[in-house]
Amino acid sequence: MNIDELPTPCALVDRGRVDANTAWMSRRALELGVALRPHVKTHKCAEAGRLQVRGHFGGVTVSTLAEARAFAESGFEDITWAFPLSPDRAREALELGGSIERLNLLVDHDDAVTALEHAARTHDVRARVLLEVDCGDHRGGVDPTTDAGVALARRLQTSDRVDFRGVLTHGGHAYAATDRAAIAPVAAEERDVAVAFASRLRDEGIPVEEVSVGSTPTMRVVEDLSGVTEIRPGNYVFFDAFQAAIGSCGVDEIAFSVLATVVGAYTEQGKVIVNAGALALSKDAGPTHVDPDCGFGLVVSQDGATVHRDLRVTSLSQEHGQIRGAGATDHFRVGDRLRILPNHSCLAAAQFDRYHVTSGTEVTETWTPTRGW
């Protein structure tokens, strides 16, 4: 099938770019001497996950219990659920953990540990646990400079229902960078905070086996991961317009796009309307700190060869996308097709129940992501 035959809007995945992106990160992990436990939340499908783990031990990272369950059913036996444990999901998590070789859970609060211990006693099991550490993102995790984080680690280490594995952090503040040079100090901070906190715990007599770090931007620029045992990048499989804007990738490395059709053209307004709105692209505002007028994605020709830098996706409603630019109606007429490289491929991909995997303009496979939580 050719992409000309696909109904729009639909999700396209460039297989060649996915292969190149996954191969690059695989080599990088080997060069840096760390295990690669890639995050799968960007695509949520086993086919892409298998490409990510080629040449490595096979462990993956998920963001939802639904992802963990789907990947377990697809044969993945070593999974980290890298999201703070919700007490009401502890029982389900432990049941899933009993069906595979390893399921690592994440906590950063005493109350979550209490709920987990209660569920573990009820099922007469021990839970494998990582402690989340805040390395500067300030989204979650214990403060590594306080005694409270050490106290929580000691509670985990001495619990009869917990197998304390180590520490995990995420340098999410790398997304505030404006270029590769600005990402580098965040990558160093991500590493240094995690390694220093692990060292502090060891000095306190608390064994730490795993030191887990990694976001796509930081892992694209970091040069030294001494003291780190594993990395967990995820978005690099697809990349997106945000990653390109901050220098994490080139536009020619972005593997995910949304194919849309022009349904309206208004020369006097300098705009065209496409049938890809918020329910196809999401309303992620994108890298406005780099370009306040970035819009909701990059406009690309149907064959993916030409990036129309003079056009912007300026507005989204539920099903409508407005693309503006002085030459909008010169480039496109009603019925023409184009691609949009979304700001955030993770959110845009989550809008679709299938991805059409392409080689050039030919559809070669269909991948089906898991849904839900």
What domains lie within the chain, and their CATH numbers? 3-10+248-367 (2.40.37.20), 39-233 (3.20.20.10)
Determine the residue type at 362: E
**Angle subtended at Cα 204 by Cα 198 and Cα 209, rounded to the nearest 5 degrees:** 40
Candidates 82, 44, 18, 30; CA nearest to 232 is 82
Which of helix, strand or coil describes residue 225?
A: coil
Please report how many Cα atoms fall inside a 13 Å half-sphere around the Cα of residue 346, on the Cβ side: 15
Separation of alpha carbons 184 and 246, rounded Å: 12
**Angle subtended at Cα 313 by Cα 311 and Cα 318, rounded to the nearest 5 degrees:** 155
- pLDDT of the residue at 220: 98
Q: Is the distance from CB of 168 to CB of 132 less than 8 angstroms?
A: yes
Burial class of residue 188 (count of CB atoms within 10 Å of its CB; 0-12, 13-18, 19+): middle
Which residue blocks in the chain are alpha helix, DSSP H?
15-32, 46-52, 65-73, 90-97, 110-123, 147-158, 180-203, 216-221, 241-245, 278-281, 328-331, 345-349
Determine the residue type at 315: S
- pLDDT of the residue at 326: 84
- pLDDT of the residue at 327: 86
Q: What are the structure tokens assigned to 12, written together?
A: 């396209």
Which of helix, strand or coil describes residue 199?
A: helix
State phi, psi for 207 to the nearest 5 degrees: -65, 140
Tell me: cis bond preceding 9? Omega within 30 of 0 counts. yes
- pLDDT of the residue at 104: 98
Candidates 64, 62, 65; CA nearest to 49 is 62
State phi, psi for 45 to the nearest 5 degrees: -135, 145
Separation of alpha carbons 292 and 183, rounded Å: 19
Q: Is the distance from CB of 300 to CB of 306 less than 8 angstroms?
A: yes
Q: What is the DSSP-derived secondary structure letter of residue 35?
A: E
Q: Under 8 Å CB-to-CB from 78, ≥6 apart: which residues?
A: 37, 57, 58, 59, 60, 100, 101, 102
User: How many CB atoms are closer than 10 A to CB 317?
Assistant: 12
Q: What are the structure tokens assigned to 101, written together?
A: 């070789």
- pLDDT of the residue at 7: 98
SS3 content of the chain, % helix, strand, coil (to 5): 35, 25, 40
Q: Mind listing the pLDDT tens digit of every residue in the chain (373 residues)? A: 999 999 999 999 999 999 999 999 999 999 999 999 999 999 999 999 999 999 999 999 999 999 999 999 999 999 999 999 999 999 999 999 999 999 999 999 999 999 999 999 999 999 999 999 999 999 999 999 999 999 999 999 999 999 999 999 999 999 999 999 999 999 999 999 999 999 999 999 999 999 999 999 999 999 999 999 999 999 999 999 999 999 999 999 999 999 999 999 999 999 999 999 999 999 999 999 999 999 999 999 999 999 999 999 999 999 999 999 988 999 999 999 999 999 999 999 999 999 999 999 999 999 999 999 9
pTM: 0.97
Q: pLDDT of 123-170, one tens digit each?
A: 999 999 999 999 999 999 999 999 999 999 999 999 999 999 999 999
Burial class of residue 246 (count of CB atoms within 10 Å of its CB; 0-12, 13-18, 19+): buried
Which of helix, strand or coil describes residue 82?
A: strand
